Structure 1
Amino acid sequence: MKINFFLNGKKVQEEIAPDLLLLDLLRQKGCYSVKRGCETANCGLCTVLMDEKPVLSCSMLAARADGKKIVTLEGMQEEAKEFGGFLADEGAEQCGFCNPGFIMNIFAMLKELENPTEEQINEYLAGNLCRCSGFMGQTRSILKFLEHKKAEKGEA
């Protein structure tokens, strides 16, 4: 089966097996930020953006990417680098295994919610699991990142 989609801004045409998972296709295309974790769609490690919405690539057939825009962390290096500094400042980067899916969800949240509260942040990220921390550092880093973004816009 032939599919066409955009991966991190580049047009891709691929011949795939009908049962190929999106996660496996993305890793074949060199997107190693997309991780296999629980394989039950519960941990968020495989999160990517499909048409700007977060999806779990471990539970989605690659065929569903046909005609879509897929973005992985590899396609958001500048944004991720900026936010990564806030994670590091709060000691929240830990081992880093969960960070790609976590960061993808954060950027999806920022597109969806204009000024998220701490409660909204926690609800939005409830599907991301991290074995290294209790998410306090991550939450602080998100709040500080939001304040930084407001200040950049002259809103703070």
Structure 2
Amino acid sequence: MGKESKKLIANNKKAFHDYFIEDKYETGISLAGTEVKSLRMGKCSVKESFIRIENGEVIIYGMHISPYEKGNIFNKDPLRPRKLLMHKYEINKIAGKMAEKGYTVVPLQVYFKGSLVKVEIALARGKKLYDKRQDIAKKDMRRESEREFKVRNLS
């Protein structure tokens, strides 16, 4: 295979703020034709979406794909649950981890890989409030040091 382009449609920055990201998986997604056309125009949001494993299938809930303007009766419900396509052993591995306390699966980004729509999902552990505060403090320190470095190099 040649080098395939990766065109980002939507990403979930909030996931990195709320969770410790452990493992990442690239999954396919089962879509209707008008949904793909809507995604090509960048009309997608994964901010409030979450993932569950039901009957050995991975389902994403709350992923909003706006209806295609030129579509008619073929338009699907924008918030309908959609099936993610993964290998059985990956699903079993994730289900085993989710059985442990504190683990969940969150979508990180939706993108085109060549002509295919892919969803990057991650096995994540929830952060406590003090973890979030530590992250914010680290970011502030890094930003401050970069600012000082910039000032020092300019003079």
TM-score normalised per structure 1: 0.27
Which one scores higher on RCO, CA 8 angstroms, separation ≥ 6? 2
Greater percentage in strand: 2
TM-score, normalization by structure 2: 0.27
More helix by share: 1
* Bigger-Rg structure (1/2): 2
